[in-house]
Amino acid sequence: MKIDLNNKQYRDLIELLFLGNWLANASRTGAEGDERLEKYEEIRDYILSQAKHFQADDVVKEEGNDFYTTMDFEELLMPIVEEYDDYTFWEQISMKLANRDLLREIGPVSQMKEEHRERMYEIEEQYENEFNKNGLKNLAIMKQDKK
């Protein structure tokens, strides 16, 4: 199978490649036990290796057998990454706090029942409303006395 792309579509594709690879690998340092997902890097490298055919040498650079998007190109995409990070931060903090509060209410369970999920969504919505209104202003860490 062959896929034909015009130059703009190719540039859009490498934007998607950067964003997708960022999501898959940005939190992975490559340290032992925290391996980058190579299959995504391999397809990214292959697509980036085609940059000359699409007059995209201004955004893709070759060093030996490796291909990289330029810092200028990546900086243009960082607002999308930051928007995603901001969205997931608020979503995750609301969800994790709701889950914590639910477990405090009902105790540990082997399987969540429908009424538990509904209650968790209610609690999560309360956190979302609070964070939408006040951000982190009212969030505090309470230290427990050691006995």
**Does the residue 64 lie in any domain?**
yes
Could you tell me if 84 and 64 lie in one domain?
A: no
Number of domains the chain contains:
2
Could you tell me if 65 and 88 lie in one domain?
A: no
Could you tell me if 19 and 61 lie in one domain?
A: yes
pLDDT of residue 42: 86
Q: Which residue has the higher pLDDT, 6 or 30?
A: 6
- Do 64 and 54 form a contact (C-beta atoms < 8 A)? no
Q: Which of 16, 49, 69 is the last residue of a domain?
A: 69
How high is the mean pLDDT of the chain?
90
Question: Who contacts 57 (Cβ-Cβ below 8 Å, separation ≥6)?
Answer: 51
pLDDT of residue 111: 82
**Does the residue 147 lie in any domain?**
no
Average pLDDT over residues 70-96: 96
Q: Which residue has the tokens 């940005």?
A: 26
Could you tell me if 32 and 55 lie in one domain?
A: yes
Could you tell me if 11 and 64 lie in one domain?
A: yes
Could you tell me if 63 and 95 lie in one domain?
A: no
B/e letters for 113-137, b = 16+ CB within 10 Å, e = fewer, are eeeeeebbeebbeebbebbeeeeee
**Does the residue 143 lie in any domain?**
no
Average pLDDT over residues 110-118: 87
pTM: 0.76
Domain range spanning residue 89?
79-134
Radius of gyration for the alpha carbons in the chain, expressed in angstroms and rounded: 22
pLDDT of residue 107: 87
**Does the residue 139 lie in any domain?**
no
Task: Give residue-wise pLDDT tens across range 23-82.
Answer: 988 887 655 656 778 888 889 999 999 999 999 999 999 998 889 999 999 999 999 999
pLDDT of residue 33: 57
